[in-house]
Amino acid sequence: MKYQKGEAKQWARENLPGIGGGIIQPLNADYSIDYEGLKGWINRQIDMGIDSIICDGACGEWLTFTTEERKKIYEVAVETVDGRVPLIANTSHPSVIVATELAKHAQDVGCDALMHCTPYANSSSDDGVYRYYKYMADRVDIGICLYNTKPTGYVLSPQFINELAERIPNICGIKQGMGSIDQTLRAYE
């Protein structure tokens, strides 16, 4: 383990500055995942100076992949990155059970942190979202970066982002997909 759960925020401050590149998942003509192409995308991003890699989470294509395909993406990414930059795995899923399974696998194969959006299509309250993140966070030791994006149907307010970060020790960052830097800046006030 690279760091303990309670050290996730400090680890993120030290290891996740700069730009994290979301990697597009290339497909073959038969719509299967092109794992060799994935390796190429990762290597190109690192060669161009990206500060960290976000696998399985660039353009929403992960919504169409099976759990086993997503696990293999994490494995290929870990092997390809080979410790050159921090690797963040998108483990978003509407089912907290599947999301936790993906998160545990990403941790076990060597991903440095997780990225996770609110459970799309079934988030109804701050309490429900808190319980969702808490369930997963209690079962993994690496950091979790929140992913705040409108398509989930539930937008995290700056106040609630801060509450999550205070109440869950391994919440360590945020990717804002809201189209406005103002949302992120308000969370830091």
* 3-class DSSP state of 135: helix
Helix (H) or strand (E) holding 171: strand 171-177
Residue with tokens 């994290």: 20
Using CA atoms, how far apart are residues 55 and 85, in angstroms rounded to an integer? Answer: 12
Active-site annotation holder among 3, 35, 132, 175: 175
Work out the angle at residue 132's Cα, subtended by the Cα atoms of residues 165 and 100, and round it to the nearest 5 degrees.
Answer: 100
Whether 147 is a known active-site residue: answer: yes
Active-site annotation holder among 3, 35, 147, 154: 147
Whether 130 is a known active-site residue: answer: no
For every residue of 18-39, DSSP letters joined together read S-EEEPP--B-TTS-B-HHHHH
In angstroms, how far is CA 125 from the centroid of its own chain? 21
Residues with active-site annotation: 147, 175
